[in-house]
Structure 1
């Protein structure tokens, strides 16, 4: 399927690509044929914010079950098998809205509704490619913006600094597989993110590399080599993915995969976090956060819960 992206890139033919977390389910749709599919998407860096009420009700989750998974990861870290792992979990939610209505109400840079199966509304870029350069903006580190001196506290937190540094290093290495002259253009800048009933501060960095003018012809190869996204897996990636499969005990599916759009000139894509899935038993919201040796289980659990919202 990734070879199809190369073929379309050679022809400069616009497309939408959707991949699950493990890149085992990949769908490619020509934009000219999008009207034949029950799929909506939006990529808008400068979207107009629409106010809405809190439209999700979270069911209480079992902290004990989360703590058991957390402890297993800490043991893996102590054994040297991973240094950073993004632990995710499903939260049952209730909402009177359809997936189409959830999609319409969400405020996000990257939005996708896939049939009557799931909706994502993500603030996080996967990669962007334009003018011979590839860029990524890993997001690691979140704090409630209402906390006194929130920006100072998140930037001064040694655990958050270590976690963010590891992800930046991982993505520098990932980009080096597909590009040259890799540079960290900005390290740890803070953005404000609306989180429904509250605002969060999110820490990001900007990494860039040179892919040359012929990247269109290998856009599929580029995307394939970079999957799964480093920010929602961990490091070292291969071993960490094995631990995720063992510990999480549920299927991520399309959650934490990516979707991207090629318009014949540039490619832009988002990581599918902030994710609602429709199941036979109702809606499931999937969320998570990075675990390092210095992580605190209760704080990580609260962060996971804080990410269950409609922006």
Structure 2
């Protein structure tokens, strides 16, 4: 049974289930919560204290600045040609830690957490969609700054490049919700969330968008999810053309990274974008996948630094 049919079937039965969907929708895992194997652990919508914690050493072996700049310049060329306006360029960084995936999962403090057997662990701060009382919500996150910077909140909110990037993502996700719902509203525009990033505290800019669904939305969970995936915040705009460009230049398979996972509990649905993601390969090596949005106003040095800043353990 294909992805859409499975999702619709469990939704129609009002059977609580977990879904995990890869970035390109080619891989997925769907399982009733009552049958969930012990190799899968998850937490959804945790309340996390914002205070800093003890730094855990994490060795990073990222791609070189020169290689990153080649990718960045390739993307800028496509932006100049008008093929895209915003692209979320990602990369994988080999990391070394004395912790297992299970230990990372147990120690991580995050709004959403998932450990999938011994394949990967995700600790995401970003909601994909929530559905409650026949309303659908999405919360795009775009724009990050170190809270230690003087007047950090004011600077990130006043930054024209960040404003343009965030506005494009909000427009993209408004259009996505318009495919599956009515009465689209931007309920909150560019508010600040605090995120623990290892030895740093980051300020993250988010917005809240809502729409109204049909009362029988549970019978169409598959249609809803497949219509709006992949998530706009980790692709770009226009979405289809941008995905094609990223596939050419990123040089690796995102797989489940930047896909989504979530739970339907029989009444409501809650899901996360799978960012802050560590994957183990067949040799036992660990890779951290991270990225950031690129526009015509982006600075290559700042974007490279953001890529590295997002490689951390949230303890």
The TM tier, using the shorter chain, reads: over 0.9
* Alignment match, 1:215: 217
User: Deviations along 1:133-158, whole A, 9 cap, x unmatched?
Assistant: 00000000000000000000000000
* Alignment match, 1:225: 227
- The Cα RMSD (Å) is 1.2
**Paired residues, what number?**
310
How far apart in 2 are the matches of 1:177 and 1:62? 40
* Alignment match, 2:74: 72
1:308 correspondence with 2:275: no
User: Deviations along 1:151-210, whole A, 9 cap, x unmatched?
Assistant: 000000000000000000000000000000000000000111111101000000000000
1:17 correspondence with 2:19: yes
Aligned partner of 1:175 among 177, 192, 195: 177
User: Normalising to structure 1: TM-score of the pair?
Assistant: 0.97
After superposition, residues 145-294 of structure 1 pair within 5 angstroms as 145-279=147-281, 280=283, 282-294=285-297
1:128–1:136 Cα contact (<8 Å) kept:
yes
User: Normalising to structure 2: TM-score of the pair?
Assistant: 0.96
1:8–1:14 Cα contact (<8 Å) kept:
yes
- TM-aligned CA deviation for residue 37 of structure 1: 4.9
Q: Partner of 1:177: helix, strand, or coil?
A: helix
* Alignment match, 2:45: 44
Q: Partner of 2:180: helix, strand, or coil?
A: coil
- TM-aligned CA deviation for residue 232 of structure 1: 0.1
How far apart in 1 are the matches of 2:249 and 2:60? 23
1:52–1:105 Cα contact (<8 Å) kept:
no
1:8 and 1:281, CA in 2 relative to 1: closer, same or farther beyond 3 A? Answer: closer
- TM-aligned CA deviation for residue 51 of structure 1: 3.9
How far apart in 2 are the matches of 1:60 and 1:252? 16
After superposition, residues 49-60 of structure 1 pair within 5 angstroms as 51-60=53-62
Structure 2 runs not aligned, ≥5 long = none
How far apart in 2 are the matches of 1:44 and 1:204? 16
